[in-house]
Amino acid sequence: MAERRVNVGWAEGLHARPASIFVRATTASGVPVTIAKAGGDPVNAASMLAVLGLGAQGGEEIVLASDAEGAEAALDRLAKLVAEGLDELPETV
């Protein structure tokens, strides 16, 4: 299982617009990914409701994980997106 631990870079956390950006990036990766708060239960990272339900705040650690083929590269891109709190979906994701 590939895993990335990263702190949420969006000041407002994974809410509304940042969650939408993250979910679109996860879906575009084509790799099934889970997201969880550190020590919490993982949820589907491609589900807007699941991501919003985490209530992840800015600066809080989250865990991205996948055991699918291509997981390492996908998790690297998603971790960068979250850590840097990017305002839009990069073309490389």
3-16 pLDDT, tens digit each: 999 999 999 999 99
The alpha carbon of 27 is separated from its chain's Cα centroid by a whole number of angstroms, namely: 10
Of 28, 31, 34, give the one whose Cα is nearest residue 93. 28
Q: Confidence band (pLDDT; 50, 70, 90) for 86?
A: confident
CATH topology of domain 2-84: Histidine-containing Protein; Chain: A; (3.30.1340)
Neighbour tally for 73: CB within 10 Å:
12
Q: Confidence band (pLDDT; 50, 70, 90) for 93?
A: very low
**pTM as predicted:** 0.92
pLDDT per residue over 22-61, tens digit each? 999 999 999 999 999 999 999 999 999 999 999 999 999 9
Catalytic (active-site) positions: 15
